[in-house]
Amino acid sequence: MSQENMSSYRRFPPEMLTESQARKELEALAQELAFHDALYYQKDAPTLSDAEYDALRQRNEAIEKLFPHLVLKDSPGLKVGAKAAEGFAKVTHLMPMLSLDNAFNSEDIQKFIERVCRFLNLPLTQQISLVAEPKIDGLSCSLVYEDGFLVSAATRGDGYVGEDITENIKTISSIPTLLSGDQGKQAQGQTLEVRGEIYMSKKEFEILNKARLEKGDQPFANPRNAAAGSVRQLDPKVTASRPLGFFAYGFGRFEDRDITSHHQRLALLRAWGFPVNPLIKTCATTAQLVAFHDELERKRAALDYDIDGSVFKVDNLAWEKRLGTVARSPRYAVAAKFPPEQGSTKLADIQIQVGRTGVLTPVAVLEPLTVGGVVVSRATLHNRDEIARKDVRIGDTVLVQRAGDVIPQVVKVVNPEAPNRAGPYVFPDHCPACGSKAAKEEGEVAVRCLAGLICPAQAALRVRHFVSKGAFDIEGFGAKNVDLFFEKGVIKTPVDIFTFESRNAGFEVPLEKWEGWGSKSAQKLFNAVNAKRRIGLDRFIYALGIRQIGQTTAKTLAKNYLSYDNWFVKMQEASAGGVGNPAYEALIEIDGIGSDMAEDLMYFFSEEHNIEFLQSLVGSQIQVEDMAVKDTSGSPISGKVVVFTGTLETLSRAEAKSQAETLGAKVSGSVSKKTDYVIVGADAGSKAKKAQELGVQVLEEQEWISLIKHLPQ
């Protein structure tokens, strides 16, 4: 996908977007952030700066707040990380490993504290003790101990399932395999999960890269990538040869009633033999937190390990438990980020990339410069309008910024008044990949190739999506090989993947005779394809690459239609009958499927070549398995739609909603015939009245608490 969905990014302030523009941008942001999450968490090869990634997250959040009814089922705000990479066994975390919300200034830090107070029903002036920690720029790791012995270690993965790196972790000397001292007895008889960050010191990073260059190997981009690449080695001996460090920062699971604060947990980790960062301190006010953060930024360059900000955590464990989590982040902690680093250089050229959906994305080719210790030579220019707004021209000196990753962004032109500047950049009106016409669609800022599947750039990228991790997940069909197969003409559509082996013998030069291939590698590829001839309905729907249909939405469709045959027939009926026919109405009644999504599904099924593609693939080449539905009939509120209104006495509104969602209910902001319960507090208004008019069951706060108190939390 590369940078294709940057088209709508920062074109207008969120409050200036129309509903149509907001809907399309949320779709683009969801796809783009999923792409960059996979690069960062799976491949340790990010192509976007921290600052730029954070800005995308912020913009997505801002648009969702303005248009809450447009929030996608696969919203980036509901996701953590990316699916675990291949090559390692999978480990399910005892508790989810969530990401942190960000703060970028003192006002954001104060707002975080106020959110905590509101959630806990505390006065906004309440003094809250927080633990301030350096945010280590490394690889998050989960360590599981049983009776004090290390039994498994895993990466974050998607926050729920990570990669098993146990044997590699045992080679890191600073991680204890047996908890030490008398304190270690506290761990006996229980399973506990310790969490921390694996890192490589700057000094060791320089030594490692020097050695790699002498051997002719590609150097690592930064210490974080070096640490992640070292841990993700199939041979533990390679990991053992790399000097890695570890800082413990907390627990995923551990019960000790004598411990009531986060700083006590850190003290226990030290006693057990874990390294805990020495710069950690307890703060009581926003001013103290800001002072800690500012002092840490001043020390940043002198530290022998990379940091990219501070982390602030509520110190009271009882409050931490009450605060819980929301979507992808805990409510009891926040990450304060450092501002991005910048530098100036010459813009040597502008190149156009064509993405999977045909979007033409401009990329700046820079004279190499070092920013924050990393050499960069390419940067995103986002889209045509962004080039015009900044008046970026070939030959200009431009200011670029990054914050610890590889490819930065162009901030502005440094010398707009320079004599003999080149003329304004003329954005192409034809696709550089196929020569077809390229134009902007109404309501978008993206310039898109109009050729569709006949465009080789789009076709290859659509196949990349088809075989990607969340879809068919076929080993050996990475971007490099997909592009090679397209270049050789042996694959043009996804169907060709499954007929590759049968056609191979008839090729003038079969695969096993290609340069870099052999009979074993060719057969390994074909075996990998054959192993994927059965696929779940949700993954298959996602693999088709239908606009707006991400992984979560695909799963929603699969849960509602259950089988491929049923889904295929109903989608054809909805497409043929148009708006108002029973199949279409049933589709848009599904929670999370709006009219725009329905239109994109209808468009896909209205194209005859798509129907022919499905008919040539399903049944003859692959089998799509029915969707397995988890039985939640044992919970009286699972799947129920609930609405909270009025002021609750024992819980804040946010805590009550979080509790209901944890128990399987669907929390809505409005009352309709589909609502099952309306929970009313003091000063309940129009929602309570509407519930009575519709005959919806109304519960007082204590009645609701009585209903749920015996259910598993």
CATH code of the domain covering residue 571 = 1.10.150.20
Band of pLDDT at residue 712, cut at 50, 70 and 90: very low
Is 42 part of any domain? Answer: no
Token duo for residue 256: 């000790």
Residue 522 DSSP SS3: helix
Quick one: DSSP state of residue 78?
G
Q: What is the pLDDT of residue 41?
A: 57
Of 568, 530, 34, 535, the closest CA to residue 328 belongs to: 34
- How far apart (Å, rounded) are the C-alpha atoms in residues 545 and 357? 9
Residue 135 placed within a domain? yes
Tell me, what amino acid is at 545?
Answer: G
Same domain, 604 and 649: no
Name the average pLDDT for the chain: 84
State the pLDDT at residue 43: 57
Q: Are strands 360-371 and 341-354 parallel, antiparallel or unpaired?
A: antiparallel
| Pair of tokens at residue 514 | 């290609």
The answer on 258 and 192 residing in a single domain is yes
Take residue 141 and report the two structure tokens written for it.
């790791």
Q: What is the mean pLDDT of residues 614-618?
A: 93
The structure tokens listed for 660 are 């209901």
Q: Are residues 566 and 681 in the same domain?
A: no
Q: How many domains does the chain have?
A: 3
Same structural domain for residues 264 and 190?
yes
Instruction: Dig out the tokens for 140 from the structure.
Output: 């998050």
CB 380 within 8 A of CB 353: no
Cα atoms found within 13 Å of the Cα of residue 451, Cβ hemisphere only: 23
DSSP 8-state assignment for residue 453 = G
H helices within 454-578, ranges in order? Answer: 456-466, 479-488, 494-504, 519-530, 537-543, 551-561, 564-577
Predicted pLDDT of residue 85: 46
Residue that finishes a domain, picked among 311, 337, 363 = 337
Same domain, 603 and 661: no
Q: Comparing 204-208, 650-654, 674-678, which segment has the lowest mean pLDDT? A: 650-654
The token pair at 281 is: 């301190």
Element (H, E) at 113: helix 106-119
Is there a domain that residue 20 lies in?
no
Identify which of 197, 184, 190 has the alpha carbon closest to the alpha carbon of residue 143. 197
Is the pLDDT reported for residue 30 higher than 90? Answer: no
Residue 211 pLDDT greater than 90, yes or no:
no
Contact between residue 678 and residue 671 where contact means Cβ atoms under 8 Å apart = yes
| pLDDT tops 90 at residue 51 | no
pLDDT(17) > 90: no
pLDDT of 359 above 90: no
Reported confidence tier of residue 404, pLDDT bands at 50, 70, 90: very low
pLDDT of residue 13: 73
| Helix or strand holding residue 374 (H, E) | strand 374-380
Residues 655, 619 within the same domain: no
**In the prediction, which pLDDT does 187 show?**
62
Does position 245 have pLDDT exceeding 80, yes or no? yes
Distance, CA of 403 to chain centre: 18
Residue 173 has pLDDT above 80, yes or no: yes
Last residue of a domain, which of 568, 596, 625?
A: 625
The more confidently predicted of residues 149 and 537 is 537
Please tell me the number of Cα atoms within 13 Å of 682 on its side-chain side. 6
* 383 contacts: CB under 8 Å, gap ≥ 6: 6, 7, 8, 9, 11, 361, 362, 445, 446, 447
Residue closest to 635 by CA, chosen among 655, 613, 661, 615: 661
Lowest-pLDDT range, 321-325, 378-382, 637-641? 637-641
Helix/strand/coil percent split, the chain, to 5 = 40, 20, 40
Handedness of CA 140, 145, 149, 155 (dihedral sign): negative
Q: Of 516, 128, 477, 519, nearest to 322 (Cα)?
A: 128
Q: Which letter does DSSP use for residue 219 in this model?
A: P
- Within a domain: 330: yes
d(CA 92, CA 94): 6
Provide mean pLDDT across the span 296-315: 91
In a domain, 324, yes or no: yes
pLDDT score recorded for residue 109: 93
> Do 265 and 148 share a domain, yes or no?
yes
Which residues span the domain enclosing 698?
641-708
Residue 474 lies in a domain: no
Helix (H, G, I), strand (E, B) or coil at 352: strand
pLDDT higher at 187 or 256: 256
- Kind plus residue range of the DSSP H or E element containing 270: helix 262-271
Note whether 105 and 225 are same-domain residues: yes
CA distances from 474 to 432, 545, 678 (A): 29, 16, 47
Rounded Cα–Cα distance for residues 138 and 200 (Å) = 8
- What sign results for the dihedral spanned by CA atoms 517, 518, 521, 527? positive
Mark whether 264 and 330 lie in a shared domain: yes
Residue 664 in this model has a pLDDT that exceeds 50: yes
What is residue 705's predicted lDDT score, i.e. its pLDDT? 85
CA distance 558 to 560: 5
Terminal Cα-to-Cα distance of the chain (whole angstroms): 40
C-alpha to C-alpha distance for 18 and 223, rounded to whole angstroms: 43
- Whole-angstrom CA distances from 454 to 356, 392, 477, 495, 617 are 12, 32, 21, 15, 19
Active-site residue numbers? 135
DSSP assignment string, 465-490: HHTSTTTT--TT--HHHHHHHHHHTS
Smallest CA-to-CA distance from 153 within 144, 41, 161, 195 is with 144
Stretch 586-606: mean pLDDT: 81
C-alpha to C-alpha distance for 609 and 24, rounded to whole angstroms? 25
What are the structure tokens assigned to 125, written together?
A: 């002036």
Same domain membership, residue 224 and residue 109: yes
Among residues 337, 353, 387, which one ends one of the domains?
337
540 and 665, same domain (yes or no): no
Q: Which of 237-241, 383-387, 709-713 has the lowest mean pLDDT?
A: 709-713
d(CA 395, CA 347): 5
Measured between alpha carbons, how far is 54 from 101 in angstroms, rounded to an integer?
10
Tell me the C-alpha distance between 676 and 196, whole Å. 43
Query: What is the DSSP-derived secondary structure letter of residue 647?
Result: B
- State the CATH number of the domain containing residue 132: 3.30.470.30
Residues 624-638 have pLDDT tens digits of 999 876 555 556 787
Residues 648, 618: one domain? Answer: no
Question: For residue 340, what pLDDT is reported?
Answer: 72
Mean pLDDT (whole number) for 528-543: 95
Mean pLDDT of 650-658: 79
Residue 351: Cβ within 10 Å count? 12
Query: Cα 104–106–109 angle (5° rounding)?
Result: 75
pLDDT of residue 3: 38
Could you tell me if 58 and 108 are in contact, meaning their C-beta atoms sit under 8 angstroms apart? no
Structure tokens at 188: 């006996």
Largest CA distance in the chain: 79
Half-sphere exposure of 432 (CA within 13 A, CB side): 13
Domain assignment of residue 142, yes or no:
yes
Percent of the chain past pLDDT 70, that is, above it, reads 88
Q: How far apart are CA 309 and CA 337, in angstroms?
A: 4
State the number of CA atoms in the 13 A half-sphere of 316 facing the CB.
12
Q: Does position 84 have pLDDT exceeding 60, yes or no? A: no
**CA neighbor of 48 nearest in space, from 61, 59, 37, 58:** 37
Q: Which of 70-79, 245-254, 336-345, 560-569 has the lowest mean pLDDT?
A: 70-79
Non-local CB neighbours of 63 within 8 Å, separated by 6+ positions: 14, 17, 22, 25, 26, 29, 70
User: What CATH number should be reported for the domain holding residue 687?
Assistant: 3.40.50.10190
User: Given the structure tokens 């056609």, which residue do they identify?
Assistant: 503
Of the given ranges (113-127, 162-176, 267-281, 592-606), which has the lowest mean pLDDT?
592-606
Is 489 within the bounds of a domain? no
Position 355 pLDDT exceeds 90: no
Which residues neighbour 597 within 8 Å (Cβ) at sequence distance 6 or greater?
548, 549, 553
Listed range (1-15, 276-290, 482-496, 534-548) with the worst mean pLDDT: 1-15
What pLDDT band is residue 182 in, cutting at 50, 70 and 90? low
